[in-house]
């Protein structure tokens, strides 16, 4: 190989891109590139070599430091809830709970408390997609004046298991199978359903996980629940049981299964992008904060045990009191430093809030503190900026450890001490009155390793959930179980699940068996016969979101020669109702409209399929439509909008495309050539009555 010509000095100046203008020398010390130890760097483009074409020298500490730091950039991902998206915001109390608690965050009306909220999927890895069928984590860190309060919840109010000792088994079963390393971010496989079939206590949670709640439309449209029962403690140390709730202002909304699967391909970051973009656009997501409060006597009177996290307290039984709100109004500046390094601990509770004896919660009290050590690598993880107690300083006599960032002055690192008597700083002291106190729960029972008999009913609440759903939701739920069990290769596992389902609802078991083309097996024997509870319509999704386009997206597909007036009319109408409108065109540069003006596109057709919109409009010219008939992306655009039960507005020129995509006329397919008004009503909701025409449900 011929040596390049030129002198060594000339060669050393050649930067990637040749221009060198982005790599100018910086003499201002505040802007100068340095090593981690502050040594200014003269050349960030070339390593130090033994000659122009010679080997790189070990001496090159600039190169070594840069590469070494890069080599160690990744830290272990969370063992569960690895994939997450987060935002900053504030919590504001609207009604004081002073009668029940002395926690200032719940007594000082109008005071804004800074929060950091992280949403997550549970089973998938950090790089998995946003829309699998899964529970969503809903973890809120409130930086209160009395220390951080981490309300580490989910979007489903119950859980799979009753005792923390089963958590590693549950997670091993649901994650990718141990020998083959798949499936990723999916519960539809042998080991998960094997565990479920053998653990009837998971049945209630399975109903929720198979419902459309597990395939949310947006993180801005999920509910949040503290799940475990906590206590509030007032000034007199009197206790009240409490369940915590978050309610999205945009209403609870979901996708359809076929849609969620296709979104995963179209935009794996669908939820992360949606949250980020909404906040960036100033459309801040908001939740109401609510509590269900119960005295000991009220808890004792319930026909189930509130310490059992597989049970829900229907709001028809104990109403939810809305006492505050949370607004997320700022995106993180740095994903790693904030979203990734945030550490949530159910043990972070200010004075006036306390845990209960729920055996699931009790295990969590250990796990979260512990797991940070392998993930963040140091007992000082609370000193990371995102985890610091910002509302009040932390001060104690714990010292040193890996990555200690504090410089503690003085000798007071033990207590009691009398250093103050000699004029030295004596250090912080305990506060018996204002400090955290645990509820004086009388114990005094014999040590046992068993499950309370009050936890034995595994089916009444599953039945309550299933029977409380609307017919559409019941069909979706049954179909979800059919889908998941169809991916289970072990027949005995499917049979066991079916046998358990008969305890929930015979109709459900029959539907699932028919969907699998399997015989219905004998009913499994429940530990306790389930009871019929009063149905709870509040457990439904349908009807829980207002008919509005607020927070949703409308996609307008256009071609050259399209009528700009129709595009404008759709945009005006949808934006006035709160929607974000995106122009989709065959080419990203945009289209030339009928009147000769250029309309810029927000995205190209193949990259902006209709799955990512809540309603679509097809504003085409005759020639444009003729072109699109040859493009499967265009046909899919219309077909998917139709089968995902979305409103489709169209101009007459788009008719051939609709026909080719199999779109049939119904109330949601609206001619907007003469005016867009008729498009609004159907666009605000899904066309449920269309579903039987486009999908075979169980
Ligand atoms: Fe978690 N869970 N969990 N979990 N959990 C974790 O902690 C655990 C449970 C929840 O955005 C881990 O920091 C046990 C219920 C959320 O960073 C780990 C048990 C609920 C997040 C852990 C449960 C949750 C986690 C992994 C059964 C709803 C993400 C990383 C006893 C109330 C927080 C971490 C974030 C994360 C343990 C059950 C919610 C391993 C042992 C029930 C939202 O500590």
Residues 593 and 626 reside in one and the same domain: yes
pLDDT score recorded for residue 6: 43
Q: What is the pLDDT of residues 667-684, one digit of tens each?
A: 999 999 999 999 999 999
List, for residues 366-421, the tens digit of each pLDDT value.
999 999 999 999 999 999 999 999 999 889 999 999 999 999 999 999 999 999 99
What's the pLDDT at 280? Answer: 98
The domain boundary, picked from 485, 511, 539, lies at: 539
Task: Give the chain's mean pLDDT.
Answer: 95
Taking alpha carbons only, the member of 290, 273, 141, 157 closest to residue 220 is 273
Question: Does 569 share its domain with 489?
Answer: no
Q: Please check the confidence at residue 15 and state whether its pLDDT lies above 80.
A: no
Is 60 exceeded by the pLDDT of residue 3? Answer: no
With bands split at pLDDT 50, 70 and 90, how would you rate the model's confidence at 19? very low
pLDDT (mean) for 536-552: 92
Place 25 in a pLDDT band, splitting at 50, 70 and 90.
Answer: low
- Whether this prediction's pTM lies above 0.80 is answered by yes
Does 601 lie in the same domain as 510? no
83 lines ligand 1 (CB under 6 A): no
Query: 81 an active-site residue?
Result: yes
165 with 286, same domain: the answer is: yes
Q: 273 alpha carbon to ligand 1 midpoint, in Å?
A: 24
The alpha-helical segments, DSSP class H, found in 550-615 are: 564-576
Question: Residue 415: phi, psi to the nearest 5?
Answer: -155, 135
Cα 203 to averaged position of ligand 1 atoms, centre (Å) = 20
Tokens of 236: 């007199």
Identified catalytic residue from 37, 69, 148, 154: 154
For residue 527, give the CATH number of its domain. 1.20.1370.20
**CATH code at 673?**
3.40.50.880
pLDDT at 81: 98
Do residues 482 and 558 share a domain? no
Q: Which ligand 1 atom is the nearest neighbour of the CA of 80?
A: 26
Return d(Cα 218, Cα 213) in angstroms, integer.
11
419: three-class secondary structure by DSSP: helix
- Which residue's alpha carbon is at the smallest distance from atom 25 of ligand 1? 81
Q: Which pLDDT score is estimated for 29? A: 81
- Of 358, 387, 416, the last residue of a domain is 387
**Chain centroid offset of residue 379 CA:** 27
Q: What distance in Å separates the CA atoms of residue 314 and residue 471, rounded to the nearest whole number?
A: 20
500 plus 618 within the same structural domain: no
pLDDT tens for 417-473 read 999 999 999 999 999 999 999 999 999 889 999 999 999 999 999 999 999 999 999
Determine the atom of ligand 1 nearest the C-alpha atom of 154. 28
Helices (H) and strands (E) counted in the chain, each on its own, are 19, 18
Is 70 within the bounds of a domain? Answer: no
Cβ contacts of residue 626 below 8 Å, gap of 6+? Answer: 656
Query: Rounded to the nearest whole angstrom, what is the distance from the C-alpha of residue 20 to the centroid of ligand 1?
Result: 49
Residues 152 and 285 in one domain: yes
Residue 502 Cβ < 6 Å to ligand 1: no
The rounded Å distance from CA 124 to ligand 1 centre is 14
Q: Do both 565 and 534 map to the same domain?
A: no
pLDDT digits (tens, 9 = 90+) for 184-209: 999 999 999 999 999 999 999 999 99
Q: How far is the CA of 80 from the centre of ligand 1 (A)?
A: 7
Rounded CA gap, 217 and 256, in Å? 9
Q: Is residue 203 part of a domain?
A: yes
Percent of the chain with pLDDT over 70: 96
Q: Convert the pLDDT of each residue in 265-310 to its tens digit.
A: 999 999 999 999 999 999 999 999 999 999 999 999 999 999 999 9
Q: Which residues pair with 497 in a beta bridge?
A: none
Is 336 in the same domain as 358? yes
What radius of gyration do the chain's Cα atoms show? 29
Atom of ligand 1 nearest to the CA of 309: 42
pLDDT at 27 exceeding the cut of 80: no
Residue 291 and residue 324 share a domain? yes
Q: Which two tokens stand for residue 532?
A: 């019929």
* Ligand 1 near 139 CB (within 6 A): yes
Task: Give the count of domains, the chain.
Answer: 3
Helix/strand/coil for 618? strand
Asked if residue 446 is part of any domain, the answer here is: no
Domain range for 568 is 553-694
Q: What pLDDT is stored for residue 38 in this prediction?
A: 95
| Angle, CA of 605, 608 and 610, to the nearest 5° | 100
Catalytic (active site) residue 245: no
Question: CA 406, CA 400: separation in Å to the nearest integer?
Answer: 9
The mean per-residue pLDDT over the stretch 161-179 comes to 98
Distance 446 CA to ligand 1 centre (A): 30
Work out the average pLDDT over 677-697.
97
Q: Which atom of ligand 1 lies at the shortest distance from residue 120's CA?
A: 11
Residues recorded for the chain? 698
Q: Is any ligand 1 atom within 6 A of the Cβ of residue 140?
A: no
The reply to whether ligand 1 has any atom less than 6 angstroms from the CB of 81 is: yes
Burial of 19 (0-12, 13-18, 19+ CB in 10 A): exposed
Ligand 1, closest atom to CA 137? 43
Work out the average pLDDT over 236-263: 97
Q: Which of 539, 561, 584 is the last residue of a domain?
A: 539
Catalytically annotated residue among 81, 204, 245, 461:
81
| Residue 286 · residue 327 · CB < 8 Å | yes
């Amino acid at each position: 190989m011929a040596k390049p010509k030129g002198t060594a000095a000339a060669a050393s100046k050649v930067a990637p891109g040749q221009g060198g203008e982005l790599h100018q020398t910086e003499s201002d010390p505040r802007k100068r590139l340095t090593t981690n130890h502050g040594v200014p760097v003269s050349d960030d483009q070339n390593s130090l070599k033994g000659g122009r074409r010679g080997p790189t020298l070990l001496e090159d500490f600039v190169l070594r430091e840069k590469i070494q730091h890069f080599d160690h950039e990744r830290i272990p991902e969370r063992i569960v809830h690895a994939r997450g998206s987060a935002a900053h915001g504030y919590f504001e109390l609207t009604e004081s709970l002073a009668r029940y608690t002395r926690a200032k965050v719940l007594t000082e009306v109008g005071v804004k408390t800074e929060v950091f909220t992280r949403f997550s999927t549970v089973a998938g890895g950090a790089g998995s997609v946003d829309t699998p069928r899964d529970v969503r984590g809903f973890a809120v860190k409130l930086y209160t004046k009395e220390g951080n309060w981490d309300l580490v919840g989910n979007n489903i109010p119950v859980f799979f298991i009753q005792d923390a000792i089963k958590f590693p088994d549950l997670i091993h079963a649901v994650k990718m199978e141990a020998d083959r390393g798949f499936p990723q971010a999916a519960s539809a496989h042998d080991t998960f359903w094997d565990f479920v079939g053998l653990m009837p206590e998971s049945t209630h949670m399975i109903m929720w996980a198979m419902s459309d709640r597990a395939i949310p439309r947006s993180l801005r449209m999920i509910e949040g629940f503290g799940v475990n029962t906590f206590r509030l403690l007032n000034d007199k140390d009197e206790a009240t049981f409490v369940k915590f709730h978050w309610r999205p202002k945009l209403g609870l909304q979901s996708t359809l299964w076929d849609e969620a699967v296709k979104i995963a391909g179209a935009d794996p970051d669908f939820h992360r992008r949606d949250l980020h973009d909404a906040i960036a656009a100033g459309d801040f997501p908001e939740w109401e904060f609510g509590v269900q409060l119960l005295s000991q006597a009220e808890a004792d009177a319930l026909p189930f045990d509130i310490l059992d996290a597989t049970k829900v307290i229907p709001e028809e039984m104990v109403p939810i009191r809305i006492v505050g709100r949370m607004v997320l109004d700022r995106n993180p500046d740095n994903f790693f430093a904030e979203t990734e390094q945030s550490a949530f601990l159910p043990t972070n509770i200010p004075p006036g809030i306390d845990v209960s004896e729920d055996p699931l919660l009790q295990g969590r009290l250990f796990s979260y503190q512990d797991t940070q050590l392998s993930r963040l690598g140091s007992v000082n993880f609370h000193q990371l900026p995102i985890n610091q107690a910002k509302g009040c300083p932390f001060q104690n006599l714990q010292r040193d450890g890996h990555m200690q960032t504090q410089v503690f002055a003085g000798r007071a690192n033990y207590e009691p001490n009398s250093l103050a008597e000699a004029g030295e700083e004596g250090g912080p002291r305990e506060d018996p009155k204002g400090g955290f106190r645990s509820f004086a729960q009388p114990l005094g029972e014999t040590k046992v390793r068993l499950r309370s008999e009050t936890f034995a009913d595994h089916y009444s609440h599953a039945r309550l959930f299933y029977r409380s759903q609307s017919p559409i939701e019941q069909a979706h739920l049954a179909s979800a179980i059919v889908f998941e069990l169809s991916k289970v290769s072990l027949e005995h596992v499917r049979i066991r699940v079916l046998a358990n389902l008969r305890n929930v609802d015979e109709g459900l078991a029959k539907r699932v068996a028919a969907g699998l083309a399997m015989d219905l097996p004998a009913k499994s024997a429940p530990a306790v016969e389930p009871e019929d509870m009063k149905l709870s319509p509040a457990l439904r999704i349908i009807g829980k979101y207002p008919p509005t386009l607020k927070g949703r997206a409308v996609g307008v597909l256009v071609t050259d020669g399209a009528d700009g007036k129709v595009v404008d009319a759709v945009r005006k109408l949808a934006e006035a109702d709160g929607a974000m409108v995106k122009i989709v065109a065959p080419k990203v540069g945009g289209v030339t409209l009928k009147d000769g003006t250029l309309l810029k596109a927000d995205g190209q057709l193949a990259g902006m399929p209709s799955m990512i919109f809540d309603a679509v409009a097809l504003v085409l010219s005759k020639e444009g439509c003729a072109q699109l008939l040859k493009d499967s992306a265009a046909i899919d655009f219309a077909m998917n909008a139709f089968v995902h039960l979305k409103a489709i507005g169209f101009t007459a020129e788009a008719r051939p495309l609709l026909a080719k995509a199999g779109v049939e006329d119904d109330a949601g397919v609206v001619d907007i050539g003469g005016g867009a008004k008729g498009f609004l009503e159907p666009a605000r909701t899904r066309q449920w009555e269309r579903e039987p025409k486009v999908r075979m449900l169980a």
